[in-house]
Structure 1
Amino acid sequence: MPTLNVRNTRLEDIDALVRLQTLVYPSIDAWDRDRVAHQIEVFPEGQFVAFYGNRLVGCASSLVILWDEWAEEHTWDEITASGTFDTHTVEGFTLYGAEVFVSPKLRGKRVGHALYEARRRACKALNLRRIIACGRLPGYHAVAEQMAIEFYARKVLWGDIADPVLSFQLREGFRYCGIMHNYLPDDKESHGHASLIAWINPDYDASQPTKLQLAFAATQETLS
């Protein structure tokens, strides 16, 4: 029986990762190889892949940001620098979830949970204050003519509607914080909208710098 394992993404994973992304999002352009390699270079601790046996079945990518710079309306392209993660900064206290996708054949096998758990472990290990993400709302297109996106999200919170993404994120302990409009304009299922969600690190120590800040300071001291 194959086992499920999650680890940090490596360069040798990129081709399989891009193939899986193309399978999961056939109507959205997949990342090119150089972009994924740059994400790994910028922030290796925040990139994860899930394997079921020896098969890559999921991916989660993230960066660290100064949330105050992005707390108002923003798009995915803006906050991730079009997926390059050039907006990543060691000065930040927020782990931002840029992408998660799972093989359709492995849905229901807790791959998504394992990837979210890897993010939580990283957030704690780096002494970051929280995880923030903007999740797709793929169930919205079916009822878009009947209700506004904000009401749709409320009905998911109340349990009247099950959304494939937001319902999962709520079960993972994330708080719903509102709607980001035009977050992914090409996402037709969500009509471009996304739900803003947050998870607060219970182990965050505000009296200490983050591990990224400590590592950066040590590097600067070595260079000087």
Structure 2
Amino acid sequence: MTKLSVRPTSPADIDALLKLQAHVYPTIAPWRRDQLAHQLDLFPEGQLVATLDQRIVGCASALVIAWDEWADEHTWSQITAAGTFDTHNPAGFTLYGAEVFVDPRLRGKRVGHALYEGRRRICRQLNLRRIIACGRLPGYSVVAHQMSIELYAKKTLWGDFVDPVLSFQLREGFRYCGIMENYLPEDSDSLGHAALIAWINPDYDPTQKPALQLAAALQQEATA
């Protein structure tokens, strides 16, 4: 019996993740090994892998940001510091989803749902206000000659189209917030565009500081 599970990423997973990412996105340059290692050093809590019978079949990577600094137009490279996550800010209130990918042979097997559920669990555990991400719109290139990216997104919201990514994210409880143009220029299927989406943490407690802020304060006290 096969068993799907989600767990924190470890350094031992890096080679398998690079191989899987290259398989999922053959036209987009994958991460470098040093980028993945740096992400784990900066924010290990935000990096997840999905495994099926101990084989890695998916990945979700995130960092914490102060969203007010990034709410205007931005690119993936800018907000992730070119994939290094050097923009990670423990003082922030927003978990930013930088990447999700799933083995294409397992689409429809709820791997993506398990990874998104893992992200929501992180958001709750850290007492963060929300999750924000910019998702690909891979169905757009087929109809780009007929309509703008904004109309394509609206038609997906209305149910006229089923976009492989945005439709899934809507089912996962995310709200569509608009288009980020030129977010990932090398994404030819989306013509570089992305859908800005948000999930609001229903368990966020504004009377308590987020866990990363508390940990930072305790560390400062210990070293004072």
Query: Is the pair's TM-score, using the shorter chain for normalization, greater than 0.5?
Result: yes
Distance 1:53 1:19 in 2: 18
Distance 1:186 1:83 in 2: 14
CA RMSD of aligned residues (A): 0.4
- Identify the residue that residue 160 of structure 2 maps to in structure 1: 160
Question: Structure 1 residue 2: deviation in Å?
Answer: 1.4
Matched, 1:70 2:70: yes
- Identify the residue that residue 48 of structure 1 maps to in structure 2: 48
Question: Structure 1 residue 137: deviation in Å?
Answer: 0.1
Q: SS at 2:50's partner residue?
A: strand
What amino acid sits opposite 2:80 in the alignment? T
- Identify the residue that residue 93 of structure 2 maps to in structure 1: 93
TM-score, normalised relative to structure 2: 0.99
- Identify the residue that residue 17 of structure 1 maps to in structure 2: 17
Distance 1:54 1:41 in 2: 23
Instruction: Quote the sequence identity (%).
Output: 70
Distance 1:3 1:119 in 2: 19
Q: SS at 2:72's partner residue?
A: coil
Structural mapping, 1:57-206, within 5 Å: 57-206=57-206
What amino acid sits opposite 1:105 in the alignment? R
Unaligned runs of 5+ in 2: none
Distance 2:12 2:166 in 1: 31
Distance 1:183 1:83 in 2: 13
Q: How many residues align?
A: 224
Distance 1:189 1:106 in 2: 20
Question: Structure 1 residue 170: deviation in Å?
Answer: 0.1
Unaligned runs of 5+ in 1: none
TM-score, normalised relative to structure 1: 0.99
| Deviation beyond 2 Å, 4+ runs, structure 1 | none
Distance 2:54 2:203 in 1: 33
Question: Structure 1 residue 32: deviation in Å?
Answer: 1.1
Distance 1:6 1:112 in 2: 10
What amino acid sits opposite 2:100 in the alignment? V
